[in-house]
């Protein structure tokens, strides 16, 4: 089971702090900042001010109804990508030390399954649901399963075979979604009701699906999500190797990222970018953008050494799974009102009060993480 403890070194196959890449911890914290409530600043500004810029940003921090892409769609796959980046540093270092592959594999599998269980608890609570009413697919479950399979591919296959897996999953998912007929719908139909992924989930996944006929974290659409973690593994392997300068690595990451984004948008013409279905075009666009962000953070932090600003995000990134789960069990809104409610009531401006409430909420969460950081307490799975 998962435990709270003081880590001596990064856990195998876990997106925990990688000391050699401060940029990775910072980028993970930057990603989690939006998940823990940072996007609410734009929604509040849009609602209270009506500013065109605030409305535009708020729209980007929401998901499209079906096809399409917005900035908010990147947060989930970026986290999976970063779990992949850390793999060559954690698993790879164990392999270099001669650790038995079977031992590493057991750790990878156990972590993946624990994340599935934590995801079920996050969805349903501990004791308040009957089996038929439970939702089993989850964000943590997808991270666990996709990360587990990607890391096993890294563990047991050479780089060339890893690339074949990457391409095979992209093309294979595309072929299945477009060529295999769904009863009553036919082949190549990508509506919520008729696509192959939703049909398979309705047949195989127990309990209920998030949207009754479809689940955005369903079982079948987890297959292409493996590639987001694999792409992170490729990036982490590249950064871990020697022979190139930091500037050269940055340039190559930027070039690869731009190429993936372009290919993804071209593929969109025949296989729409769709987060709900985690289409192959969605994998390429989010994977490319993840590479671009990693390149920027790596260049600024690890190459140029500009690090003072990273602490705020690093505190978040080092306990990312914990803060994701904590919101279901800790009333941070009550704590924010308790500590800052009196101060906010003194403001006569609706905008200041509304934005202040969001900032107070984020401040309480960050303070909670900071206390754990100072005590060197991290959630390890």
> CA of 69: how far to CAs of 21, 32, 219, 272, 342, in Å?
29, 19, 22, 10, 40
User: What integer pLDDT is reported at residue 348 of this predicted model?
Assistant: 62
Contacts with 291 (C-beta within 8 Å, 6 or more apart), sequence order: 231, 235, 253, 254, 256, 257, 260
Per-residue tokens: 35: 């998940």
Return the higher-pLDDT residue of 6 and 164: 164
Segment of 40-54, 201-215, 269-283 carrying the highest mean pLDDT? 269-283
Tell me: pLDDT of 78 over 70.
Answer: yes
310: DSSP letter = G
Average pLDDT value over all residues in the chain: 90
- Bridge partners of 135, per DSSP, are 207
Tell me: pLDDT of 109 over 50.
Answer: yes
328 membership: H or E segment, kind and range? none
User: What integer pLDDT is reported at residue 241 of this predicted model?
Assistant: 86
User: What integer pLDDT is reported at residue 10 of this predicted model?
Assistant: 35
DSSP conformation letters of 61-95: TS--SSS---GGGGHHHHHHHHHHHHHHHHHHHHH
pLDDT digits (tens, 9 = 90+) for 267-288: 999 999 999 999 999 999 999 9
Average pLDDT over residues 76-82: 96
181: DSSP letter = P
Q: How confident is the model at residue 2 (pLDDT cuts 50, 70, 90)?
A: very low
- Bridge partners of 379, per DSSP, are 4
Tell me: pLDDT of 74 over 90.
Answer: yes
User: What integer pLDDT is reported at residue 269 of this predicted model?
Assistant: 96
Q: Which long-range contacts (CB under 8 A, 24 or more apart) does 223-226 make?
A: 223/169, 223/172, 223/173, 224/169, 224/170, 224/173, 224/278, 224/279, 224/280, 224/282, 224/283, 225/77, 225/80, 225/142, 225/146, 225/278, 225/283, 226/146, 226/149, 226/150, 226/153, 226/165, 226/169
Between 209-218, 257-266, 270-279, the lowest mean confidence (pLDDT) is in: 209-218
Q: How confident is the model at residue 362 (pLDDT cuts 50, 70, 90)?
A: very high
Tell me: pLDDT of 153 over 50.
Answer: yes
pLDDT digits (tens, 9 = 90+) for 314-352: 999 999 899 998 887 888 888 888 888 767 666 667 788
Average pLDDT over residues 40-69: 91
Average pLDDT over residues 32-37: 92
User: What integer pLDDT is reported at residue 20 of this predicted model?
Assistant: 60
Average pLDDT over residues 81-90: 94
Tell me: pLDDT of 312 over 80.
Answer: yes
- Cβ(194)–Cβ(183) below 8 Å: no
Tell me: pLDDT of 193 over 70.
Answer: yes
> CA of 34: how far to CAs of 53, 311, 324, in Å?
18, 16, 11
| Phi-psi map region of 218: left, alpha, beta (phi>0 left; psi -120 to 50 alpha) | beta
């Amino acid at each position: 089971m998962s435990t709270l403890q003081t880590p001596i070194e990064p856990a195998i196959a876990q997106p925990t702090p990688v000391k050699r890449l401060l940029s990775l911890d910072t980028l993970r914290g930057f990603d989690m900042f939006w998940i823990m409530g940072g996007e609410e600043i734009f929604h509040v500004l849009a609602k209270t001010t009506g500013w065109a810029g605030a409305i535009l940003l708020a729209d980007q921090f929401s998901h499209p109804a079906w096809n399409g892409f917005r900035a908010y769609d990147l947060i989930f796959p970026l986290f999976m990508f970063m779990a992949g980046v850390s793999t060559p540093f954690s698993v790879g270092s164990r392999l270099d030390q001669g650790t038995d592959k079977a031992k590493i594999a057991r750790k990878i599998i156990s972590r993946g399954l624990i994340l599935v269980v934590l995801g079920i608890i996050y969805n349903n609570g501990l004791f308040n649901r009957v089996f038929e009413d439970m939702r089993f697919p989850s964000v943590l479950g997808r991270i666990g399963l996709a990360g587990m399979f990607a890391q096993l591919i890294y563990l047991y296959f050479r780089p060339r075979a890893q690339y074949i897996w990457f391409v095979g999953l992209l093309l294979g998912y595309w072929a299945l979604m477009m060529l295999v007929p769904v009863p009553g719908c036919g082949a190549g139909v990508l509506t919520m009701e008729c696509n192959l992924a939703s049909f398979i989930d309705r047949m195989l996944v127990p309990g209920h699906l998030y949207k009754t006929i479809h689940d955005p974290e369903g079982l079948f659409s987890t297959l292409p999500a493996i590639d987001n973690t694999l792409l992170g593994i490729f990036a982490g392997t590249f950064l871990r190797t020697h022979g190139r300068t930091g500037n050269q690595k940055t340039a190559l990451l930027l070039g690869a990222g731009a190429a993936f984004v372009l290919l993804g948008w071209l593929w969109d013409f025949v296989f729409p970018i769709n987060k709900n279905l985690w289409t192959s075009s969605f994998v390429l666009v989010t994977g490319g953008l993840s590479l671009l962000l990693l390149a920027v953070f790596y260049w600024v932090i690890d190459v140029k050494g500009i690090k003072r600003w990273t602490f705020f995000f690093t505190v978040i990134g080092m306990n990312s799974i914990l803060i994701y789960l904590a919101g279901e069990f800790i009333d941070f809104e009550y704590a924010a009102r308790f500590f800052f409610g009196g101060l906010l009531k003194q403001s006569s401006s609706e905008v200041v009060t509304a934005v202040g409430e969001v900032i107070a909420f984020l401040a309480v969460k960050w303070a909670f993480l900071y206390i754990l950081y100072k005590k060197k307490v991290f959630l390890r799975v």
